Amino acid sequence: AIGNVWTPGGATTQSITVNASGNYSITVTDANGCQGTSSATTVTVNPTTIPTISASGPLTFCQGDSVELTSSVSTGNTWSTGATTQSITVLASGNYTVTDGSNCGGTSAATNVTVNPNPTPTITASGPTTFCQGDNVTLTSSSAIGNVWTPGGATTQSITLDTSGTYTVTVIDANGCQGTSAATTVTVTTNPSPVITPVGSTTFCQGDSVTLISSSSTGNAWNPGGGSTQVITVSNSGNYTVTVTDANGCQGTSVATVVTVNANPTPTITASGPTTFCLGDSVTLTSSSATGNVWSPGGATTQNITIYNSESYALTITDNNGCTGSTLENTSAISQQNAAITASGPFCENSDTIFLSAANNGGAWSGNGITNTNSGQFSTIIAGPGDHQIIYTLQGNCGGADTIIITVNAGPLVSTSDDQTIIQNESTVINGLGLGTLNWFPSDGLSCVSCNNPTATPLSTTTYYLMVTDANGCSSTDSLTIFVEEPNGEMFIPNIFSPNGDGNNDLLLVYGNIKNMNLIIYNRWGQKVFETTNQAIGWDGTHKGMPLDPAVFVYYLRVIHQNNIEEIKQGNITLIR
């Protein structure tokens, strides 16, 4: 197993494999270094016979063609397909060999046969291949190149068709192989051709109509209008067509039928003046048309008529097309309106608001002192002393107007001495001047109420008013306040004031050394007319910017004194002017 050396070759393995002719021996060296050589073994290798393959034509061809392969050995052949003939016919791609079956026979080199498949084009349609006349379909080959269409011979990838036929495409590829698609059938359906028949004249007056009939009983679509019936009734001008869709979905549109609707005349009436007028006057009505006029009532056919009374007049005109139109005009003859003003006055300048009246309502008042032109509200305060012309006008036809003079007498002059301060239980003389009857109020603490210079002994701070009334019955008022001091001071609110703008007692104020306050004034209906929390802000006798009439008002007063004691007072306040 060891110590071997083969000759020839020099291999040292126990075994060798030989594939060449020669005399082979082995020399063995043992453990003692001793050697021995075997006798030679002669090996003879006979040469192998290798067949060759020849082809009858190209080894690369299209599907459907073939090639014949022939072995160089006439007998004893075995082909890779299993055939044992000298020649075989090849239809499919592959590597083909032949083996010589004789002693020392061999196998040929492989012969490669390539069979290129023929193209298998398909046709794709862009839409339905059955369609209506006027439409089309595009057929597209699955191959971008090498196309030949039948019929027509087009070589593009796509063709657009609008005629019936059976279409195929043949494709030749880069190998020269060709294939033809399955046939695609294109069917073009003829569109319907509808006809419109009018029943009656297609030219008529506004308000009339004509009936149009389609030649098709079904599938109708009218334009304009969109009706789908076989028969339509038309009352407007236009070009009318009907489009018919048949069972195949194909459409056809008729020739247009022209319908002309003549507009009825639209007469207008022009009046020479107001159509509401006073009895005894008149108005002339004129038609916008010079001819074809008929007036009703009366039946006049002139362009103009003159009206003296109240009536509704209808005008009908007929134009050259025989079409008619009408309009209406109302006239009204009315009596003169009475605007006489009811006599009023004279008034005093500080009188309450006065409402003037007249024989008929609905007119407009104007003049100095008028504060509401609709209701005739008159303010003596705004007007002031003097004679004032007041006009009342009834608007409209036969309206009227009247004028009166309203006299506003000024109030008498009146004045009082300045405010005074006394200690409680003391007295003082107060002075007043005025032309007319004198009246001091309130009377508490006064020695007299109708004299010029009464002695006043009020127990608390009091505002005294002097009212003077003259021969016209007009009054004027002035006031002064006697402040009565107590050792600890007191809070005081007057119970009367006169906001007449004379600078005396024009504001209602809360007096006294107080810390906080809230004063609210209400009218006799409970409506709040004034509120303040500032002692320095007094009430001027107005509400929402308008002076209030003389009246008695209710006040609510909440006071916090300097010693933080709360006091609440309620009472009446008299507003005079």
Mean pLDDT of the chain: 91
Q: Is residue 291 part of a domain?
A: yes
Whole-number Å distance between alpha carbons of 255 and 546: 81
Asked if the model's pLDDT at residue 425 lies above 90, the reply is: no
Q: How far apart are the first and last CA of the chain?
A: 160
Q: In this predicted model, what pLDDT tens digit does every residue of 507-565 receive, in sequence order?
A: 999 988 788 999 999 998 989 999 999 999 999 999 999 999 999 999 999 999 877 88
Q: Which of 573, 515, 492, 511 is nearest to 540 (CA)?
A: 573
Prior bond of 550 cis (ω within 30°): no
Residues 577 and 502 in one domain: yes
Q: Is residue 479 part of a domain?
A: no
Task: Identify whether the C-beta of residue 259 lies closer than 8 Å to the C-beta of residue 237.
Answer: yes
Q: Select from 279, 307, 334 the last residue of a domain.
A: 334
Whole-number Å distance between alpha carbons of 195 and 221: 13
Residues 244 and 203 in one domain: yes
Q: Is residue 325 part of a domain?
A: yes
Q: In this predicted model, what pLDDT tens digit does every residue of 95-109 receive, in sequence order?
A: 999 999 887 889 999
Residues 360 and 396 in one domain: yes
Residues 355 and 394 in one domain: yes
- Residue 66 neighbours by CB distance under 10 Å: 13
Q: In this predicted model, what pLDDT tens digit does every residue of 245-263 receive, in sequence order?
A: 999 889 999 999 999 999 9
pLDDT for 533: 96
State the DSSP H helix or E strand holding residue 88, giving kind and residue range, or none if neither: strand 87-90
Rounded mean pLDDT, 105-132 = 95
Residues 161 and 204 in one domain: no
Asked if the model's pLDDT at residue 79 lies above 70, the reply is: yes
> For the chain, how many structural domains are there in total?
7
* β-pair type (77-79, 257-262): unpaired
Residues 321 and 369 in one domain: no
Q: Select from 83, 116, 149 the last residue of a domain.
A: 116
Place of tokens 């098709």: 216
- Print the SS3 string covering 158-223: EEEECCCEEEEEEEECCCCCEEECCCEEEEEECCCCCCEEEECCCEEEECECEEEEECCCCCEEEE
Whole-number Å distance between alpha carbons of 496 and 480: 11
Residues 224 and 164 in one domain: no
- Measure the CA dihedral 272/276/278/280, to 10°: 50
State the DSSP H helix or E strand holding residue 253, giving kind and residue range, or none if neither: strand 251-253
Whole-number Å distance between alpha carbons of 510 and 573: 12
Q: Which domain holds residue 565?
A: 493-577
Residues 83 and 147 in one domain: no
| Lateral strand order in the sheet of 94-96 | 60-62, 111-116, 94-96
Residues 251 and 220 in one domain: yes
Asked if the model's pLDDT at residue 489 lies above 80, the reply is: no
pLDDT for 279: 79
Rounded mean pLDDT, 92-121 = 93
Place of tokens 């016919």: 89
Q: Is residue 14 part of a domain?
A: yes
Whole-number Å distance between alpha carbons of 234 and 209: 5
Q: Is residue 424 part of a domain?
A: no
pLDDT for 276: 81
State the DSSP H helix or E strand holding residue 382, giving kind and residue range, or none if neither: helix 380-383
For residue 171, what is the domain's CATH number?
A: 2.60.40
pLDDT for 490: 67
Task: Identify whether the C-beta of residue 161 lies closer than 8 Å to the C-beta of residue 105.
Answer: no
Q: Is residue 448 part of a domain?
A: no
Q: Is residue 372 part of a domain?
A: yes
Q: In this predicted model, what pLDDT tens digit does every residue of 190-204 receive, in sequence order?
A: 999 999 999 999 999
Residues 504 and 567 in one domain: yes
Q: Pick the residue with more confidence: 397 or 499? A: 499
Task: Identify whether the C-beta of residue 327 lies closer than 8 Å to the C-beta of residue 266.
Answer: yes
Asked if the model's pLDDT at residue 486 lies above 70, the reply is: no
Rounded mean pLDDT, 282-304 = 94
Residues 173 and 93 in one domain: no
Whole-number Å distance between alpha carbons of 69 and 55: 5
Residues 59 and 101 in one domain: yes
Q: Select from 376, 409, 442 the last residue of a domain.
A: 409
* 79 phi, psi to nearest 5 deg: -85, 160
pLDDT bucket at 431, cuts 50 / 70 / 90: very high
Whole-number Å distance between alpha carbons of 576 and 554: 14
Q: Is residue 452 part of a domain?
A: no
Q: In this predicted model, what pLDDT tens digit does every residue of 138-187 receive, in sequence order?
A: 999 999 999 999 999 999 999 999 999 999 999 999 999 999 999 999 99
